[in-house]
Structure 1
Amino acid sequence: MECEEPASASSLQTPANPESGSTQCYSAYKGLRYFAIDDVALSRLILERLISKTLRGSEYSEVTGAELGTPRKVVIEQYVRRTFELRAEVIILDQYIGTLERGLLGTHIACALVRAGYDGLICLRSADDSLELERQAVEAGVHLFIPKYLSNSSFRKQIFKALDQFRLRKAKQATDQAAKLAAAESTEFARPLPVHDEDKSKAQAKHPVKPTKSHLPPGLTMFAVEDNVLARKTLQILFKIAKGSDSSTVMGQSVDEILNFSNRVLESDPPVDICICDQNLDDPAMGGRIMQGTSIITNLLKGGFKGVLVIRSANDSKDDVEYYQKCGAHIVLRKTTSLMETLAIIASYWKMHQA
């Protein structure tokens, strides 16, 4: 399975004031990538014009519907996969898609996107503006509910205001996450022991050694490549908790680091034991896809790499995982997997790898 690789979308910025209505204010969100879903041809034409003319979205934005008779589960999986392929920053869903088997609701797609780890803005459009539907939309993970009768200018104001609030919320989350990661650097991640004395003695008999921060043996050489600065920080902390060797490193700060990663791994002395690759690697500064983690894995295997290969990706459907494994990945991790769970999964495979 091969996914299309459209150019990366622009990052969200803050408009001076989304309510003011000036062209200068709206230009801050020019070029965002939208993905809209509606089963009515006329509605799709309207959305295409709204996105290209009113919202001034990226040329890589897409408006789509669904084929008659396609099973609901299949359509949802297709939409979720396409969302990540497009790297869409804003999703606009019609609530009622009536041409499909048993019907498909926009809230169904929203739920699936949230479960898949989508971190963009999710909007829902409907002619039904009841409070009950708004409540259902919020529960499904929708950020913005848009009545279909809104004028183009009102539609634009609603979208840009929501984007502004969404960006501020994401910035706060990133700050909070960075603080947690900094705290994790000084935290002892010891194996938890039972509370009761009798159980403690049994546990200590099974584990006479002092609990350590990681189930991986210390001193392993671990390399990772990641284009996101916060994710690189997370991986650096992961290597520190795992007591990796001094040669361990996290790359991806520049295009050169991404392009030269395979050579660095193969030329490393001591040899790299564990290699972790982000699946979709973009230019950290300018955007635009550079390469995929699976391509790196293929190159490493051709070069004789003998260590453990790990792919991290937001796309983790059954087909995606099978594709990563076919390319040679030993482990596939979601990007939302916690530090300690990541360590446990890698450690478990490491033991089998060494057996």
Structure 2
Amino acid sequence: MKFAYFSHVWGRPGITPGERYEELWREVEDADRLGFDYAFSVEHHCTPHESWMPSPAVFCTGAALRTERIRVGPMGWVPPLRHPLHLVEEVATLDQLLGGRLEVGLASGVSRDPFLPFDADFDNRHLLTREALELLRAAFAARGAFDFDGPAHRLRDIALSFPPVQRPHPPMWVPTTNRNTLRYLSEAGAHTSSTMIVPRASMALVYRHYLDWWRGHGHASDPRIGYWTLVHVARTDAEAEERAAAHITETFTKTLRYGSVSRSRDQHAPPSRLSTTDILAGSGDLRFLLENNLVFVGSPATVADRIRAASLEGHFDTLLGEFTFGELADRHRIESMELFAHEVAPALRAFSPYAPRPQEPAYTASDEQQVAARLQALGYID
């Protein structure tokens, strides 16, 4: 498994954007020092209640100036909001600035609201996102001037000022659970991800096919499949839950506004039978979140077991962990990150939910039973 420090760059009362950004650079520095594999952020516009990060380039630049080894990127740029050639030049510049540590996330968007201020094309967002990925690949494969014919843009005799460091291009991610998109991504060699509001049983169904398609195209290594949720680690389960409880429910219900729908079925339904509507409706109830393993909160051993169990159920191998949320005290945030880096991550580094390639050790049914038994003993599953 690999581990990302993920930040929406949420604001708080009584703090200026400048102060929040200075906090962000300290957080990314901590992630770099502690050995996290990635630092990811978002592109959000005109959402003061949700995110103070309208510019992925600012995030990548700040991280480049404050880190040495961690890989950095947005998750992701929203291609329909700009001309795709702007994105090509920005990617090349940032990869040069980062010395070849850029990860390129492209997100088509899920809500019409952020598109309205830009008069952007929401209905064709998926087509425009795919076009942007194709243009990135074509532009960086060229040795000199190139032409490009896409469904929305036609470019002629374009010569970039300089290419990215990584050739043929930086790794690319497109968050999705759409089967047709995943089939395309498997051929293009682009990674993917999802979030905790998507039922993991549904994720696993499509991601197993994505892995099979990917391997069928003969890529040298397996894809990365990410999973986003909130994470908090303390010395004991009780301490972690007490510290994080109010901040988790505030984040889901007030910041992300997840709790504005009605639950469609029994709140105690097992995760495999939950719908996205159920998850959204239950997001303000910490016991619901813990019982369904939708947030990773607890002691290092508990959090490691939670992630392993969720990974097996959802078929993901990269955790996109949000460690800074609500008004969680900074000392608790850094303690959580340190415990995660020193005790959780080492327990999971060698683990993969994927069926092994030849000569790779299998994660056995006995291993899975042991994880389930531990979570059951802790009262997290029936």
Give TM-score, length-normalised by structure 1.
0.31
Give TM-score, length-normalised by structure 2.
0.29
Which structure has the higher relative contact order (CA within 8 Å, separation 6+)? 2
